[in-house]
Amino acid sequence: MSLLTPTRPAAPQPTPELHHALTLPAKPARWGRLAATVIVTLIVVVAFWSIDINWSRLSSLPADVVRYLWLMFSNPNWDKLGEALYQTWRSVEMAWVGTVIGLVISLPLSFLSARGFAPAPTRWILRVLFAVIRAVPEIIIAIIILSVTGLTPLTGALALAVNSIGTLGKWGYESIEGADPGPIEAVRAAGGSTSQVIRWGVWPSVTPEFISFWLYRFEINVRSSAVLGLIGVGGIGDMLTSYTQYREWSTVGVLLLVVVVVTMALDAVSGAIRRRITEGAKIRELDR
């Protein structure tokens, strides 16, 4: 063999570490996913099986829906339009008052629930309180409150306010904890107090989200106020209950039209405001 012939390097001998690195990982066990799927399926089956449902009536359901729609909208009773608009306005007022009370109370509680602004016991107590409030429907809260205030629109507004505290408080402390830490650290490094940190470090960052949450909660309260009227606290829901019980379907149709139109209009206006706050003004391209 010539001395100029290049020699091929010897192949590296496999070491235990290299053998371990080249070994394919074991296939993950899917018993947990399978067990969860089986449990969820059993729950769904048992739920449908235990509910007393007359499945034979499902075949007649489409015809019944068409019949009631015809009764409500074939010849609407427009004489009740003025009263329907007035009662709808009372529902909107109820929703607005409930939203304002809820945001005024939930705003300081949001900061007390966020990390870095209150001790851990205070944070967890308030977070549990928010969770308990969210777990109770507005109509149950209204039934509890009406024993003190009676069947008045104030009962509905207070019920909406209590439920708003639960949702706005949760959304609030999540926004505060997700705020940009740069301004907060800058204010603290400059020797700012807690109030100054909130004013100059946190508030400018979370204001758009807070306003968006408040408007969205107002939309929810407008729809919930109609439901609260079913227990007699006033508003369009109270009127719907009365005319439905007397089977005056032509009037019920007018009430439903008013509710749908007013709710959609408020949702559209509130949604446009929220988009303007969160996204900013759209830049229009100038014609050249």
CB 268 within 8 A of CB 94: no
In order, the DSSP letters of 89-138 are HHHHHHHHHHHHHHHHHHHHHHHHHSTTSS-HHHHHHHHHHHHHHHHS-H
Q: Domains (ranges, CATH) in the chain?
A: 71-279 (1.10.3720.10)
Structure tokens at 60: 């007649």
Residues 6+ apart with CB under 8 A from 105: 161, 165
Asked if residue 25 has pLDDT above 50, the reply is: yes
Q: What CA–CA distances, in Å, run from 190 to 114, 180, 183, 187, 264?
A: 22, 17, 11, 5, 48
DSSP assignment letter at 2: -
The mean of the pLDDT values for the chain is: 81
Structure tokens at 252: 């019920």
Residues 6+ apart with CB under 8 A from 212: 274, 277, 278
pLDDT score for 1: 46
In order, the DSSP letters of 139-160 are HHHHHHHHHHH-SSHHHHHHHH
Alpha helices in the chain (DSSP H): 16-22, 31-50, 61-73, 81-113, 120-135, 138-149, 153-177, 181-189, 194-196, 203-228, 236-245, 249-279
Asked if residue 243 has pLDDT above 60, the reply is: yes
pLDDT in tens, 146-170: 888 877 888 889 999 999 999 999 9
Q: How far is residue 139's CA from residue 45's CA, in Å, rounded to a whole number?
A: 29
pLDDT in tens, 196-212: 888 888 888 888 888 88
Q: How far is residue 167's CA from residue 123's CA, in Å, rounded to a whole number?
A: 15
Asked if residue 79 has pLDDT above 80, the reply is: yes
DSSP assignment letter at 234: S
SS3 286: coil
Give, in degrees to the nearest 5, the angle at Cα 158 between 171 and 213. Answer: 20
pLDDT-derived band of residue 104, with 50, 70 and 90 as boundaries? Answer: very high
Percent of the chain with pLDDT over 90: 16
This prediction has a pTM of 0.74
Asked if residue 21 has pLDDT above 60, the reply is: no
